[in-house]
């Protein structure tokens, strides 16, 4: 009974309920965009002229597509894999290398852009720790998510230089074989598209661009309005909720007026899309409740006392990152890692005088690491499906690059810990 009471009291807080509602509605927005073929239309932009595309152009397309699809990781890798897979084959780039590119870009881009369900989850965790102005706190913390930034930079370096080592080297030879096969006489051109699903329509690029532009614009306007003209003082939970509602309305109007779809069909798709994200909303609620319980138990302060006695403050950030990285790799979940580490790291920072943005950034970086390379991560499995490689091959070829980024991030956290503290 006490657990149920905690859940109810947590959900009853206005900002918490806004974040939970946002986590549900984002699913409806994605469903409407998918119904209108928005992702398909965006992918077709990158499919044009594929027979003559060069590697540099293809890699630029991969980075742009992975960054633009920032709403959700699964759609990101599925669309990227379907749109660009045959181009990688034609140019002799191994599918395993493609999987590394697409997975790393998708997971880190989604983790860093503060206008999606991940951002709502972050805000809920910060609100549970009674952080003032959680959205502004999040924006100040994102530059410290070093693993994410270093991973994206490493992908860019690998794209430019063709650097390879470890198991990836062996699969690079396979890519050349695929290139020969795809250009052989009688080879069939791919006929699948990202959204050849029942009920989908041939969409236009406007249905992709307009809702996303609306999402970002209304979020910024909401922050400014709720902050009395100063977006730094605005209510982030309210702003992102208004934004997803406005973006959904824009998507629905496009489908209703321009594509002549029935209102009943739009309602059904939107509700079903919201239903598919109920699990994410439940995670937000449970994370909020867990954070409050850990706060009430004084876990963060207890850990702070232990750290103050035995660990130099310069090592707080790398230890938080490494602990989160091990936890997320072992469990395959970034959300679970965030839920456990944030109620420890944020109070630790405030109790010891460390930089709270640095430690929260270390939490985010550690959680993303496991989602990026754990063999039991859902994103790993989806990427393997989208790129047509086995999960074992994907993990073994990507892990060395992820470990390089993690080592650089740990060193960076040590340097920042020394400098800021």
Cβ-based neighbour number of residue 213 at 10 Å: 13
77 Cβ contact list (under 8 Å, min separation 6): 102, 103, 106, 379, 382, 383, 386, 387
Q: Is residue 137 in some structural domain?
A: yes
Name the domain count of the chain.
Answer: 1
Q: Is residue 213 in some structural domain?
A: yes
**What's the rounded Cα separation, in Å, for the pair 299 and 351?**
12
Q: Is residue 185 in some structural domain?
A: no
**What's the rounded Cα separation, in Å, for the pair 236 and 287?**
18
- Domain housing 337: 2-175+199-420
146-155 pLDDT per residue, tens: 999 999 999 9
Geometric angle at alpha carbon 30, from 26 and 32, rounded to 5°: 115
Q: Is residue 181 in some structural domain?
A: no
Q: Output the pLDDT for position 141.
A: 95
The whole-model pTM stands at: 0.79
- Token pair recorded at residue 52: 């003559």
Residue 419 vs residues 3, 308, 358, 411, 415: alpha-carbon distances, Å: 42, 18, 11, 12, 6
176-200 pLDDT per residue, tens: 455 444 444 444 444 444 444 434 4
Cβ-based neighbour number of residue 107 at 10 Å: 27
Q: Is residue 265 in some structural domain?
A: yes
**What's the rounded Cα separation, in Å, for the pair 147 and 266?**
40
Q: Is residue 192 in some structural domain?
A: no
Q: Is residue 326 in some structural domain?
A: yes
Q: Is residue 47 in some structural domain?
A: yes
Average pLDDT per 10 consecutive residues for the chain, totaling 421 residues = 75 82 87 83 66 76 88 82 82 91 95 87 85 90 96 95 87 60 46 41 74 87 82 78 91 85 89 86 76 69 69 89 92 86 89 91 95 89 88 93 96 90 65
**What's the rounded Cα separation, in Å, for the pair 347 and 398?**
34
């Amino acid at each position: 009974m006490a657990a149920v009471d905690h859940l109810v009291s947590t959900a009853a807080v206005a900002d918490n309920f806004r974040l939970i509602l946002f986590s549900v509605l984002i699913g409806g927005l994605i469903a409407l965009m998918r119904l209108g073929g928005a992702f398909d239309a965006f992918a077709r932009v990158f499919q044009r002229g594929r027979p003559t595309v060069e590697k540099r152009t293809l890699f630029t397309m991969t980075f742009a597509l992975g960054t633009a699809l920032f709403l959700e990781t699964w759609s990101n890798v599925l669309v990227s894999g379907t749109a660009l897979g045959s181009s990688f084959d034609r140019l002799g780039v191994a599918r395993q290398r493609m999987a590394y590119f697409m997975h790393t870009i998708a997971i880190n881009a989604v983790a860093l852009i503060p206008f999606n369900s991940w951002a709502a989850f972050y805000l809920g965790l910060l609100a549970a720790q009674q952080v003032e102005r959680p959205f502004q706190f999040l924006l100040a913390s994102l530059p410290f998510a070093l693993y994410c930034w270093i991973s994206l930079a490493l992908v860019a370096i690998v794209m430019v230089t063709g650097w390879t080592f470890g198991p990836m080297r062996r699969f690079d030879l396979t890519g050349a074989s695929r290139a020969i096969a795809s250009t052989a006489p009688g080879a069939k051109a791919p006929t699948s598209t990202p959204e050849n699903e029942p009920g989908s329509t041939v969409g236009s690029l406007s249905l992709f661009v307009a809702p996303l532009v609306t999402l970002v614009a209304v979020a910024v306007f909401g922050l400014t309005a709720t902050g009395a003209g100063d977006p730094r003082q605005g209510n982030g939970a309210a702003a992102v909720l208004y934004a997803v509602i406005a973006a959904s309305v824009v998507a629905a109007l496009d489908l209703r007026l321009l594509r002549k779809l029935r209102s009943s069909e739009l309602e059904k798709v939107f509700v079903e899309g919201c239903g598919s994200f109920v699990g994410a909303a439940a995670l937000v609620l449970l994370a909020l409740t867990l954070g409050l319980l850990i706060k009430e138990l004084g876990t963060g302060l207890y850990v702070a006392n232990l750290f103050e006695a035995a660990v130099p403050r310069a090592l707080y950030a790398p230890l938080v990152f490494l602990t989160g990285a091990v936890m997320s790799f072992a469990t395959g979940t970034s959300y679970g890692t965030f839920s456990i580490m944030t109620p420890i790291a944020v109070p630790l920072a405030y109790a010891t005088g460390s930089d709270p943005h640095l430690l929260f950034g270390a939490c985010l970086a550690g959680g993303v690491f496991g989602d990026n390379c754990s063999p039991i991560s859902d994103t790993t499995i989806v990427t393997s499906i989208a790129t047509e490689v086995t999960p074992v091959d994907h993990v073994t070829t990507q892990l060395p690059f992820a470990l390089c980024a993690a080592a650089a991030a740990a060193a960076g956290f040590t340097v920042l810990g020394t400098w800021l503290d």
